[in-house]
């Protein structure tokens, strides 16, 4: 089902970012390297900020959980040293790089990356890349009074920044919701139930678009309608039974 019929029984649209609105390449070749390159300096510059204290405390709690996991045979994690303060900050940076190397969906890391990217977007060093059909689709959906939400493992701040400073201009004006992993894992069906409740929509009347089949599986269990985004640069999908789109034009 494509075109107007695809949206005939939809009250809201929920979109993934990486591989759906935005090329995978931008995330892995631009955003992640930028965060890594600026990590140590950014942590040092904000060492005493109350806002960053919350992020650092979250990272330390995650680190403690990882240490407990090593007792059951999981991979060892780098140590954190509380004193002196410079050693603590260096340890946090090392732990962040360890998380990055494993592409971990760490809430603490995602929050810190979002703050680093904020600096880059505001300075103009970063511009959020979106596929060429995204802006026009947002315009069409707004005209049809279809509210749009984002669900990404990146922080809500990182999501807002990407669309506010996008290659197609400020697209944040089209977006009603930004959901991150505070709602739960993207592979957990309860996350999508919470999102539908937060939208004040029936899950059956929400369309979720993603390039990851396990996310679509979870959304389907929650009752949402789904489409698999097959975009240039996306890794091949495993065998699946989802309806496929290559551009948002196919949705209407």
Structural contact between residues 212 and 16, judged by C-beta atoms closer than 8 angstroms: yes
Domain that holds residue 66: 28-123
Domain boundary among 62, 92, 123: 123
Same domain, yes or no, for 33 and 113? yes
Pairing, β 12-15 against β 225-229: unpaired
Same domain, yes or no, for 14 and 134? yes
Same domain, yes or no, for 132 and 119? no
DSSP letter, residue 29? I
Render pLDDT for 95-125 as a digit per residue (tens, 0 to 9). 999 999 999 889 999 999 999 999 999 999 9
Statement: residue 2 has pLDDT above 60: no
Share of the chain above pLDDT 70, in %: 96
CATH number for position 143: 3.40.50.1000
Count of domains for the chain: 2
CATH number for position 66: 1.10.720.60
Render pLDDT for 135-157 as a digit per residue (tens, 0 to 9). 999 999 999 999 999 999 999 99
Statement: residue 84 has pLDDT above 90: no
Same domain, yes or no, for 79 and 9? no
Domain boundary among 106, 123, 140: 123
pTM: predicted TM-score of the whole model, two decimal places: 0.90
Q: How confident is the model at residue 5 (pLDDT cuts 50, 70, 90)?
A: low
Same domain, yes or no, for 138 and 229? yes
Same domain, yes or no, for 117 and 225? no
Same domain, yes or no, for 204 and 185? yes
Same domain, yes or no, for 8 and 39? no
Cβ-based burial of 72 (10 A; exposed 0-12, middle 13-18, buried ≥19):
exposed
DSSP letter, residue 203? G
Please tell me the distance from the alpha carbon of residue 222 to that of residue 48, in angstroms, as a whole number: 42
Same domain, yes or no, for 15 and 58? no
Lowest average pLDDT, out of 15-19, 86-90, 211-215, goes to 86-90
Same domain, yes or no, for 238 and 135? yes
Domain boundary among 72, 106, 123: 123
Same domain, yes or no, for 90 and 11? no
Same domain, yes or no, for 75 and 107? yes
């Amino acid at each position: 089902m494509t075109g107007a019929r695809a949206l005939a029984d939809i009250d809201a649209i929920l979109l993934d970012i990486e591989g759906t609105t935005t090329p995978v390449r931008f995330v892995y070749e631009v955003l992640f390297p930028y965060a890594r390159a600026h990590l140590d300096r950014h942590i040092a510059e904000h060492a005493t900020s109350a806002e960053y204290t919350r992020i650092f405390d979250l990272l330390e709690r995650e680190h403690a959980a990882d240490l407990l996991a090593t007792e059951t045979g999981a991979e060892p994690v780098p140590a954190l040293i509380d004193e002196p303060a410079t050693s603590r900050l260096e340890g946090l940076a090392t732990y962040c790089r360890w998380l990055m190397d494993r592409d971990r969906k760490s809430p603490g890391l995602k929050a810190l990356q979002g703050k680093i990217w904020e600096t880059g977007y505001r300075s103009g060093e970063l511009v959020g890349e979106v596929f060429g059909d995204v802006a026009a689709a947002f315009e069409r959906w707004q005209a049809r009074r279809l509210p749009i939400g984002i669900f990404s493992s990146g922080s809500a701040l990182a999501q807002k920044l990407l669309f506010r400073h996008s290659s197609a201009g400020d697209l944040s004006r089209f977006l009603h919701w930004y959901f991150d992993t505070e709602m739960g894992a993207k592979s957990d069906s309860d996350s999508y139930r919470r999102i539908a409740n937060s939208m004040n929509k029936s899950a059956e009347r929400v369309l979720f678009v993603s390039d990851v089949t396990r996310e679509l599986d979870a959304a389907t269990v929650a009752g949402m309608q789904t489409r698999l985004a097959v975009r240039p640069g996306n890794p091949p999908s495993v065998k699946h039974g989802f309806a496929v789109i290559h551009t948002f034009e196919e949705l209407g």
